[in-house]
Structure 1
Amino acid sequence: MDSQLDVLRRELVEVRGIPLFWSIAEQWSQVESFEARPDDLLIATYPKSGTTWVSEIVDLIYNNGDAEKSRRDVIYMRVPFMELAVPGRTSGVEKLNNMPSPRLVKTHLPVQLLPSSFWKNNCKMIYVARNAKDVVVSYYYFYQMAKLHPEPGTWEEFLDKFMTGKVSFGSWYDHVKDWWEKRKDYRILYLFYEDMKEDPKREIKKLLKFLEKDLPDEVVNKILHHSSFKVMKQNPKTNYTTVTQEEMDHSVSPFMRKGISGDWKNHFTVAQYKTFEEHYEEKMKDTALKFRSEI
């Protein structure tokens, strides 16, 4: 690479039909052959669906609510993004290979691209899904500020790319549906962002049960506090302000932007809403999976 700019804003490259960052595609063999350990916990999401939020909650659970322990490092070091590879940086796979067990592993991969070792080892997995309209709005802002993505174009253009699955990590529809199906055969806790917004304590208790952890109520309340949007937005260990401005420009849009449900109403025109809803009905007609687009 001649310069940092050569790394950024490049077109996506398909791996088995799924558009990914070119740098992930280039290093794909190391992702595919990644060796999961039986006590790994995988946190899987489509981008902009509450990944950092649930990662922080789980890290706090693993540390029995000790917020100081969770401040030991930035979130992307505590919960490495497995498939991420950027030239000149330690890849997610390398970070994970050097980590002691039990590891927390983050992925945005659709089920068909997940390394087979996770299925073979029957690892526990947490999947968080968020309604499509809020995801596309959040993703549009993220594309603007996180420059490993190609240029997003206009809102109208980006919405079209999202609907046709021509964004990083592919189709939202396939992603949420395929993970939903997988939960029937594997140890997957499938959570909804909207449920987490509505009653975070209830969802933390679901996580505790799934992880077979028993924590007293005062510790659960501490986890609730430290994983709140307000606290995480101010916490440099979770808000991604430690990433260089060349890579993530928070002046364009902060990484932790609003953290609400229903912001799509401020962005969709009436015509866009109508087109999107018709397309959505068609794409989701073959599943029992249901989303709330506001709470």
Structure 2
Amino acid sequence: MSSSKPSFSDYFGKLGGIPMYKKFIEQFHNVEEFEARPDDLVIVTYPKSGTTWISEILDLIYNHGDVEKCKRDAIYKRVPFMELIIPRLTNGVEDLNDMQSPRLVKKHLPVQLLPSSFWKNNCKMVYVARNANDVAVSYYYFYQMAKMHPDPGTWEEFLDKFMTGKVAFGSWYDHVKGWWEKKKDYCKLYLFYEDMKQDPKCEIQKLLKFLDKDLPEETVDKILYHSSFDMMKQNPSANYTTMPKFCMDHSVSPFMRKGVSGDWKNQFTVVQYERFEEDYEKKMKGSTLQFHSEI
């Protein structure tokens, strides 16, 4: 790997102390000024935590399991990524403003950067958290295929960046804890990726209850089937293969790579795992948040 490749500082700046893509920062005033609607549903995750999965499930719920309706467009158009604003390429805020209600709004922002209109309108929010080990591995492969990132370097180098929060959207630890603390005060459902893998039907029932929606059993089963990893991986409207190659290069690593829990064991060395666990204990000390590192 050539050392002349663009560095972290070429791609990222700081937004409220959080590492963020420079292009996002330049346009962030549009995000801050965004006018939420009371029936907006906000989907929040730290990157690589099941964002596309929960988005597809919710779009299927909103469309009563109508699979053809959910193929009307790519997932990133059906559930716009609000803070993704790259002039002449894509604009999450504009996409949302053009949408009819009720809207599904995707975000990766830490809790302190969420636009105030979502709090004012008491919008419902669904947060999905995934264990740190698997997120680190998935993020490493995503950095390689999504061209908005600098070269991640070796796995060892990237793991250091992840542990110190020197990645887009900052520290995983602060992100999951920040949203966990807020769940006491607002209308939020906090889900875990590992629970979704273990018993997806139970988690879909939680979503339906949270949204005050009632769907027949056969519709729930249909949603389960069409939101499974195997079905989504084959679905061009869900698997990001419609993205241009200069944005995402699936030949480097597919966007939908494995979709399992516990894959970190194939990546971490024993030494890396021990160092990671020691650091994890320090950073998560005092939090009531508990994760499964495998199922």
Give the TM-score, by structure 1 length: 0.96
Q: Does 1:176 align with 2:184?
A: no
Q: Does 1:278 align with 2:266?
A: no
Cα-to-partner distance string for 1:204-252 (whole Å, 9 max, x where unaligned): 0000101111001000000000000000000000000000111100000
For residue 170 of structure 2, what is the amino acid of its counterpart? Answer: G
Root-mean-square deviation (CA), in Å? 1.4
More divergent stretch after superposition (129-138 vs 30-39): 30-39
CA contact (8 A) 2:84 2:90 kept: no
What's the CA shift for 1:87?
A: 2.4
Q: Find the counterpart in structure 2 of residue 39 from structure 1.
A: 39
Q: Find the counterpart in structure 2 of residue 232 from structure 1.
A: 232
CA contact (8 A) 1:9 1:151 kept: no
CA contact (8 A) 1:128 1:193 kept: yes
Q: Find the counterpart in structure 2 of residue 254 from structure 1.
A: 254
For residue 214 of structure 1, what is the amino acid of its counterpart? Answer: D
1:143-292 to 2 correspondence within 5 Å? 143-292=143-292
For residue 151 of structure 2, what is the amino acid of its counterpart? Answer: E
What's the CA shift for 1:34?
A: 1.0
CA contact (8 A) 1:9 1:148 kept: no
Q: Secondary structure at the match of 1:67?
A: coil
Cα-to-partner distance string for 1:10-47 (whole Å, 9 max, x where unaligned): 42111110111111011011111111111000000000
How far apart, CA to CA, are the structure 2 residues paired with 1:149 and 1:22? 11
Q: Find the counterpart in structure 2 of residue 52 from structure 1.
A: 52
What's the CA shift for 1:9?
A: 10
1:27-106 to 2 correspondence within 5 Å? 27-106=27-106
For residue 158 of structure 1, what is the amino acid of its counterpart? Answer: F
What's the CA shift for 1:85?
A: 1.1
How far apart, CA to CA, are the structure 1 residues paired with 2:169 and 2:35? 21
How far apart, CA to CA, are the structure 1 residues paired with 2:148 and 2:35? 26
How far apart, CA to CA, are the structure 2 residues paired with 1:138 and 1:20? 18
CA contact (8 A) 2:42 2:124 kept: yes
For residue 54 of structure 2, what is the amino acid of its counterpart? Answer: V
CA contact (8 A) 2:241 2:250 kept: yes
How far apart, CA to CA, are the structure 2 residues paired with 1:290 and 1:167? 23
How far apart, CA to CA, are the structure 1 residues paired with 2:182 and 2:89? 33
CA contact (8 A) 1:40 1:102 kept: yes
Number of residue pairs matched by the alignment: 290
Q: Find the counterpart in structure 2 of residue 113 from structure 1.
A: 113
What's the CA shift for 1:183?
A: 0.4
Cα-to-partner distance string for 1:106-157 (whole Å, 9 max, x where unaligned): 0000001110111111100000000000000000000000011121111111
CA contact (8 A) 1:9 1:150 kept: no
Q: Which runs of 5 or more structure 1 residues have no equivalent in the other structure? A: none
Q: Secondary structure at the match of 2:142?
A: helix
Q: Secondary structure at the match of 2:44?
A: strand
How far apart, CA to CA, are the structure 1 residues paired with 2:286 and 2:89? 41
CA contact (8 A) 1:10 1:149 kept: no
Q: Which runs of 5 or more structure 2 residues have no equivalent in the other structure? A: none
Give the TM-score, by structure 2 length: 0.96
1:124-135 to 2 correspondence within 5 Å? 124-135=124-135
Aligned identity (percent) is: 73
What's the CA shift for 1:62?
A: 0.3
CA contact (8 A) 1:19 1:167 kept: yes
How far apart, CA to CA, are the structure 2 residues paired with 1:10 and 1:214? 49
Q: Secondary structure at the match of 1:275?
A: helix
CA contact (8 A) 1:42 1:104 kept: yes
How far apart, CA to CA, are the structure 2 residues paired with 1:277 and 1:223? 36
For residue 72 of structure 2, what is the amino acid of its counterpart? Answer: R
How far apart, CA to CA, are the structure 2 residues paired with 1:154 and 1:222? 41
CA contact (8 A) 1:126 1:188 kept: yes
How far apart, CA to CA, are the structure 2 residues paired with 1:33 and 1:261? 37
For residue 110 of structure 1, what is the amino acid of its counterpart? Answer: P
